[in-house]
Amino acid sequence: MTSVHFAFKTPQGAPKTGKLRIVPIKRHTEGANIIPLLGFDVDLASDGTKTVQLTPTDNTYAWRVTEFPGEPECSYVRTVQVPNSQSTVEYAALADVDPATLAPTTQSGPVLNVAYADTLAEAQKLGAQLANTVVMYPESDELGA
């Protein structure tokens, strides 16, 4: 089982309470056995968080999470893959999948973050400041050149 941490806040940063409905989609099999996974509801704690144990997915099924953030007329549905992890994983970081095919959905953020520097020294400084960013600099300013 993987521990998945859910955390919800309002746009102002206050905790957001509500309910989650977590349901497996498609059948989960292990060899010749069909493993019935049951859906369940979870209430968020007063701080807007909850950690839930979920069976890791294996590309034959996924978890559908319906978020009810306290307003009955408002809900949001995600279908996600859950990795097999000994560490707690964040719900917000789980990969979304197409519920019909279980293929990963198109990435909505930037594919690659790039920064440009004039020198190697500047590139090293930018690299230390910018996580998940490729820093480009002129070839003529390499170490030992």
Helix/strand/coil for 114: strand
Do 135 and 80 lie in a common domain?
no
Judge whether 104 lies within some domain: no
**Cross-strand pairs, 75:** none
In this prediction, residues 61-73 reach a mean pLDDT of: 84
Judge whether 133 lies within some domain: yes
Do 86 and 126 lie in a common domain?
no
Judge whether 103 lies within some domain: no
Do 20 and 89 lie in a common domain?
yes
- pLDDT-derived band at 144 (thresholds 50, 70, 90) equals low
Do 79 and 25 lie in a common domain?
yes
Do 32 and 81 lie in a common domain?
yes
In this prediction, residues 86-109 reach a mean pLDDT of: 85
Judge whether 102 lies within some domain: no
Q: What is the predicted pLDDT for the residue at 107? A: 60
Number of domains in the chain: 2
Residue corresponding to tokens 């170490």: 143
Q: Tell me the per-residue pLDDT of 35-61, one tens digit each, with 9 for 90 and over.
A: 777 889 999 999 999 999 999 998 788
Do 67 and 20 lie in a common domain?
yes
Rounded to whole angstroms, how far apart are CA atoms 91 and 95? Answer: 9
CATH of the domain at 44: 2.60.40.10
**Cross-strand pairs, 76:** 67
Q: What is the predicted pLDDT for the residue at 137? A: 85
Judge whether 12 lies within some domain: yes
Rounded to whole angstroms, how far apart are CA atoms 59 and 50? Answer: 25
Judge whether 145 lies within some domain: no
Which of 142, 117, 119 has its CA nearest to residue 130?
117
Judge whether 134 lies within some domain: yes
Do 51 and 17 lie in a common domain?
yes
Structure tokens at 51: 């950690």
Do 36 and 9 lie in a common domain?
yes
Average pLDDT, the chain: 85
Q: What is the predicted pLDDT for the residue at 46? A: 94
- Structural domain range at position 135: 110-140
- In the chain, how long is the greatest CA-to-CA distance? 64
Do 29 and 60 lie in a common domain?
yes
Report the alpha-carbon angle 144-128-6, nearest 5.
150
Q: Tell me the per-residue pLDDT of 122-142, one tens digit each, with 9 for 90 and over.
A: 888 888 887 778 888 887 755
Do 52 and 120 lie in a common domain?
no
